[in-house]
Amino acid sequence: MTVPEAPVGGSRASATAGAAAVPDALVIGRVLISRVEESTFAVLDPFEVYPELTQVLLEANMSWLAPRFFDPVAQRLNLAFQGFVVRSADALIVVDTCVGDCKARRRVSFDQQRWGWLERLKAAGVEPTAVTHVVCTHFHVDHVGGNTRLENGRWVPSFPNARYLFPRAEFDYWSSEAGARAMERTGDYFADSVLPVVRAGQADLVEGDHALTAQVGLRPAPGHTPGGVVVDVQSDGARALLLGDVLHTLLQIRYPAWSTRFCTDPDASRRTRLDILRRAADRDVWLLPNHFPAPSAGRLERWRDGYNWRFAGAARPVFV
Ligand SMILES: [Zn+2]
């Protein structure tokens, strides 16, 4: 992935042109958004994720699902794990920090891995010491792991000069008994990936709509988890929303009412998702769902009785 060293200015027209030429990087006015992937693999059994899914529905969608979004041999959905880098003249922001290295996890595919994501960030021109802010859209295991790294047997913040912006409602929930119970499935990542940042004095707990810079804000998006946020980038008339896990897979573009079994509050998750999709459809807004495979970013188009998805740089939308 090629990432320019400096933010690139430009109009909405040039933002679209830039996205078409370099699908892994989007120019949003004077802000550059790029993706740095940790992994993409066939990880989730679709029936584990979506209670409404049936074999009939899965097969009805197989023409577009396989093999790009669903591995028919493994019978699993392909998900990307990645963080986004948001660069502007006054900030270098990392949004979500993936699963992380050397972490003890109960899900085997996340356990004691060596993905080398921090090294990949450096290769993309992002020195950890230069990062000004880290945002976790929510505190699931695959969004906070790279917050910390192992140094002499201790977990220390991976970005030593950054302020880490944590949604307060998220922090409160995962500190509670209910949060501890919810982590039994994965292992206690809060202890190794969130608390060391707090102990180092680098955490800022934020609430409601929060302006991080003139161009970058956090907006509450509750439901998947109680204090989840989306990151709203607006510059020179262009706009992008970094959605975290408001959407997990393209099945939720086809069936936007579907929440996941991982959602703390499936009804609130549905309301948040339907609201965001309704506002973004047919508008000049880039959406960046964390787990959509490359190039991840796309736009929502109205189609039949619902929506279709057109990836950045794609000649046509996904559903046919
Ligand atoms: Zn996730």
Q: Give me the pLDDT at residue 282, please.
A: 80
Calpha distance 255→52 (Å, rounded): 10
Q: Give me the pLDDT at residue 180, please.
A: 93
25: phi then psi, degrees, rounded to nearest 5: -135, 135
Output the CA 158–ligand 1 centroid distance in Å: 20
Output the CA 245–ligand 1 centroid distance in Å: 5
CA angle 259, 262, 263 (to 5 degrees): 55
Output the CA 244–ligand 1 centroid distance in Å: 7
Residue entry with tokens 């209670």 = 51
The structure tokens listed for 115 are 């993905």
Output the CA 69–ligand 1 centroid distance in Å: 16
Output the CA 221–ligand 1 centroid distance in Å: 14
Output the CA 141–ligand 1 centroid distance in Å: 7
**How does pLDDT run across 79-104, given as a tens digit for each residue?**
999 999 999 999 999 999 999 999 99
Q: Which helix (H) or strand (E) holds 59?
A: helix 55-60
Output the CA 79–ligand 1 centroid distance in Å: 9
Please name which of 149, 145, 228 lies closest in space to residue 190, comparing C-alpha atoms: 145
Output the CA 267–ligand 1 centroid distance in Å: 18
Q: Give me the pLDDT at residue 68, please.
A: 97
pTM to 2 decimal places: 0.92
Output the CA 291–ligand 1 centroid distance in Å: 7
Output the CA 22–ligand 1 centroid distance in Å: 24
Question: pLDDT-based confidence at 186, cuts 50/70/90?
Answer: confident
The structural domains of the chain, with segments of one domain joined by +, span: 12-311
Output the CA 142–ligand 1 centroid distance in Å: 5
Question: pLDDT-based confidence at 220, cuts 50/70/90?
Answer: very high
**What average pLDDT does this structure show over 45-55?**
97
CA atoms in the 13 A half-sphere facing the CB of 183:
21
Q: ω before 67 within 30° of 0 (cis)?
A: yes
Output the CA 10–ligand 1 centroid distance in Å: 32
Residue entry with tokens 């608390």 = 195
- The two beta strands, 306-311 and 298-303, are antiparallel
Q: ω before 7 within 30° of 0 (cis)?
A: no
**How does pLDDT run across 226-252, given as a tens digit for each residue?**
999 999 999 999 999 999 999 999 999
- The two beta strands, 163-167 and 203-206, are parallel
- The single-letter DSSP state of residue 162 is P
Output the CA 11–ligand 1 centroid distance in Å: 32
**How does pLDDT run across 253-263, given as a tens digit for each residue?**
999 999 999 99
Calpha distance 69→179 (Å, rounded): 30
Output the CA 224–ligand 1 centroid distance in Å: 10
Output the CA 14–ligand 1 centroid distance in Å: 31
Calpha distance 257→30 (Å, rounded): 34
Question: pLDDT-based confidence at 23, cuts 50/70/90?
Answer: low
Calpha distance 242→216 (Å, rounded): 10
- Select from 3.40.50.720, 1.20.140.10, 3.90.79.10, 3.60.15.10 the CATH code of 12-311: 3.60.15.10
CA angle 83, 242, 79 (to 5 degrees): 55
Cβ-contact 162, 134 below 8 angstroms: yes
- The single-letter DSSP state of residue 85 is E
Output the CA 13–ligand 1 centroid distance in Å: 31
- The single-letter DSSP state of residue 29 is T
Query: Which residues is 186 bridged to in the sheet?
Result: none
Output the CA 55–ligand 1 centroid distance in Å: 24
Calpha distance 113→320 (Å, rounded): 38
Residue entry with tokens 């899965």 = 58
Q: Give me the pLDDT at residue 18, please.
A: 34
Q: Is the pLDDT of residue 9 over 70?
A: no
